[in-house]
Structure 1
Amino acid sequence: MNRISILFLAFLLVLISCKIKKTEEIKEIKSKEPSKKISTKADNVSILKKTFVIDGLNTIAHKVWLYLPPNYHTSTEKYDVIYMHDAQNLFDDATSFVGEWEIDETLNDLYKKTGKSFIVVGIENGGEKRIEEYTPWENVRYGGGKGKIYVDFLVNKLKPYIDKNYRTKPDAENTAIIGSSLGGLISFYGGLKYPEVFGKIGALSTSFWFSNKVITFAEENGNQKKTKLYLLVGDKEGNSMVPDTENMAELLIDLGFPSQNLKTKVHPDGKHTESFWKAEFLEVITFLFNLENNERTNN
């Protein structure tokens, strides 16, 4: 074998070795990459083509998710509507933070069992702007305080758009606002501030701690006679979550809020997680929309 052949063979071996090493490195990198989540949303969940930039809030184009009942396109029925926050976490594991609420699976199953249907409107949070969107008052440490702008958008822009383009029952008695954590706070605020729009409130693991001004707000707006309110908190959420929730319930009753319209649940194993709120969602809407009595009537 001549010298040129030897050099060529050596070069070829080096090239093959480099390719093998590069392939192994790529495999190692890919093995360390997080696996891509698979979409789990049902076929009757979509994202509106129209996005909403909320004047005075921020410059984020907020996406709106829409759950339509399984029988929506085969009927002329009008539906109760549930407005919810943190839409990324409601329907799809692929977009969720640490797991979805499975709102679509829960409601699809409810429809199969009872025939009861809802429209759900989920508004995506603004990511790092979430705190300011879901808090009506400022916190010295965490900032925030633009929640009024967000709620006014729901009332004056989004709800009219939904009522115009979809078959809804627009009255307050047929409209709920539900959220958790800061989403629970903004639901509590929005429902009491606009009882003529939202007749039902689901305030789950509500961050009443965020501002003491929530007490004054409740004193000024808590004497509602027709609003229904579900307060949920877990005993393992830590800090002052349980006493804050129980104290708020007592305050509202003292103010004249009808006791039959208010349910407070302290779950002994409840934690501040999506899995907790997912497990409790059906019970929340069962109380708010009186589903047990409706089911007995239908039967």
Structure 2
Amino acid sequence: MTHRQPTRFPLLLLLTLTALAGCDPKPPPTPEQSYSEVQFDVTVPLETPVDATLLLTGADPAFKGPSGQGLELIYQGGTTFTVKGRMPKNQPLTYSIRMTAPSTHVALDAAGTAVPARTLEAHENEENVSFSVERWGPESGITQPQTAFIVAVPETTPSQDSIWLSGNHELLGNWNGAGVKLYKAVNSGYATVLSFTPDTSLEFKATRGGWDKVEKTAEGAEVANRTLKTGTGFERISISVGAWADFVTAPVEPTLTGNIKKEHITPTNTLLKERDIIIWLPPGYDENDSTRRFPVLYMHDGQNLMDVVTAFAGEWKVDETAQELVESHKVEPLIIVGIYNTADRGPEYTQVPDDRYPEVNGANGGRADAYGQFIVNELKPMIDGKYHTRPEAKYTGLAGSSLGGLVTMYLGMKHPDTFSRLAVISPSVFWGHHDIVAKVNALPAKLPLSIWLDIGTDEGSSSLETVADTRQLRDALVNKGWVLGGSQLKYTEVEGGKHNEAAWAARFGSVLEYLFPPPPP
């Protein structure tokens, strides 16, 4: 019987495996050893929208984030956004910051050039990286001047209310009370970024959508028009609202002089809003004496004419000036009717639309005919019925400044059977590509209108009203037969005159003396 030897293969295999098991190779690196937790703290500019979506983006997968679009930073309050990411150690990484909502922007430097990608090389297990963004803009950069307005509001501001800037420029609504709407920004502020021509002289105030909700001091006093002369680059303007007019009782006393009456009227045309009317009655006006009658001057922007409490851009002091001139017999006793404007000031004071300028309440101009019909067919009959007026056209005047000057010129030509004396003060001749000049040129003949026309020599930097444009209007009137220097047309260029209520108040006395001279003895 033959005995087979047991095979040795399993034993050798066992010994080999045992030997291999005894070789203790170095295990692969763990994630904790090759990556570092890095926290990014980013300080953003004050005009950054509070709902901004900010991402850190880069080629390395570490900057892809869960969405694959980037690491999203979280708003921490104030002006700080943060995010924490796992970054490979000892590797140079490049990354950039980008805003993807509410608009797409990248970080720019102060000069408006896109900031180059940043570099990071992580070494420690916990690292912190901090940097600031100077401003936001497109990747192509920004070359035009820009002004960022940041408005801090009081805690009493209703959270649902919108904040606006209104001022003396079309981008600020030409004082319509709701010129440019601000968006909610970081640090509990409100902001907007606008571009103006360099050396533009701005005047403006903050509102909550109307002059009844204009900014006041914390004590409730009137706030002077805020002023700014724009530069050639980027600038950031921060203002703080002390209180709102509808939340405080103004400590200032009304500045009304003489016999003042108030009316309120709702136009029948639903395009026009209801409004207040202020009436100044002259010395010698006796409500019980209906035998004595007075000429009437109708004026636009009524809340700015007589009372500092209601004036949103300064007071004309119409009542004080008229009182003094009538009492000194330099001006015929007259009644002055101030028509308050509304948030639709721009559309109501312009005879045609102008697509170059933003819409206000669904219109960018062209409601002057409706506004004129309201004055002629509703307001004037009410005034003639309640007060001792001389209702004929030859005793009736119309006056206004800026867009109010434009609509005065237009309505005077449209209704020469209602108005015969016009004060066209610092008119907005530019509107509608100089449409008012074209309308004068189209007149078949001179109208029976006595016209005061003026412009300040320093208005062009604060608005679009210029000496050159006003001269065009003057020349068009002369070409139609108006004679300069007499009772038909008085043209004045006011040296250094600006585009504001203080400038118009300074020459209102001269306007009255020209349009309403005392009757001969």
Alignment TM-score > 0.5, same fold? yes
Do the aligned partners of 2:318 and 2:505 also contact (CA within 8 Å) in 1? Answer: yes
Count of residue pairs the alignment pairs up: 262
Match of 2:437 in 1: 215
Q: Any residues of structure 2 matched to 1:1-299 within 5 Å, and which?
A: 32-35=218-221, 36=250, 37-48=252-263, 50-58=264-272, 60-73=273-286, 75=289, 76-114=291-329, 116-126=332-342, 128-140=343-355, 141-142=357-358, 143-212=364-433, 213-221=435-443, 223-238=445-460, 239=464, 241-259=466-484, 260=486, 261-291=488-518, 294=519, 297-298=520-521
The amino acid across from 2:253 in the alignment is I
Superposed displacement of residue 257, structure 1: 2.4
The CA distance in 2 between the partners of 1:31 and 1:250, in whole Å, is 45
Superposed displacement of residue 222, structure 1: 7.4
Does the C-alpha gap of structure 1 residues 169 and 222 become closer, same or farther in structure 2, counting only changes over 3 Å?
Answer: farther
Superposed displacement of residue 165, structure 1: 1.7
Does the C-alpha gap of structure 1 residues 267 and 280 become closer, same or farther in structure 2, counting only changes over 3 Å?
Answer: same
More strand by share: 2
Does the C-alpha gap of structure 1 residues 290 and 222 become closer, same or farther in structure 2, counting only changes over 3 Å?
Answer: farther
TM-score by length of 2: 0.48
Match of 2:51 in 1: none
1:196-248: CA deviation from partner (whole Å, max 9, x where unpaired) = 11001101000011112222211233733421011111000014511111111
Secondary structure of the equivalent of 2:442? Answer: helix
Runs of 4+ deviating beyond 3 Å: 30-34
Secondary structure of the equivalent of 2:296? Answer: strand
Superposed displacement of residue 175, structure 1: 0.5
1:82-121: CA deviation from partner (whole Å, max 9, x where unpaired) = 0001110001001001221111111111222117311011
**Bigger shift: 138-147 or 179-188?**
138-147
Superposed displacement of residue 167, structure 1: 1.1
Greater C-alpha Rg: 2
TM-score by length of 1: 0.82
Q: CA RMSD in A?
A: 2.0
**Bigger shift: 238-247 or 186-195?**
238-247
Does the C-alpha gap of structure 1 residues 178 and 275 become closer, same or farther in structure 2, counting only changes over 3 Å?
Answer: same
Secondary structure of the equivalent of 1:73? Answer: coil
Superposed displacement of residue 43, structure 1: 4.5
The CA distance in 2 between the partners of 1:34 and 1:162, in whole Å, is 34
Match of 2:90 in 1: none
The amino acid across from 2:437 in the alignment is I
Superposed displacement of residue 133, structure 1: 1.1
The CA distance in 1 between the partners of 2:349 and 2:465, in whole Å, is 19
Secondary structure of the equivalent of 1:221? Answer: coil
More helix by share: 1
Secondary structure of the equivalent of 1:169? Answer: coil
The CA distance in 2 between the partners of 1:245 and 1:104, in whole Å, is 28
Superposed displacement of residue 137, structure 1: 0.8
1:131-165: CA deviation from partner (whole Å, max 9, x where unpaired) = 01111111112312111100111111111111122
1:155-210: CA deviation from partner (whole Å, max 9, x where unpaired) = 11111111122111111111100000010011011111111110011010000111
Secondary structure of the equivalent of 1:168? Answer: coil
The CA distance in 2 between the partners of 1:171 and 1:236, in whole Å, is 37
Unaligned ranges ≥5, structure 2: 1-215, 222-249, 359-363
Identity %: 34
The amino acid across from 2:285 in the alignment is Y
Do the aligned partners of 1:56 and 1:149 also contact (CA within 8 Å) in 2? Answer: no
Superposed displacement of residue 61, structure 1: 1.5
1:18-54: CA deviation from partner (whole Å, max 9, x where unpaired) = xxxxxxxxxxxx9844422321112411211x42235
Do the aligned partners of 1:64 and 1:87 also contact (CA within 8 Å) in 2? Answer: yes
Do the aligned partners of 1:57 and 1:150 also contact (CA within 8 Å) in 2? Answer: no
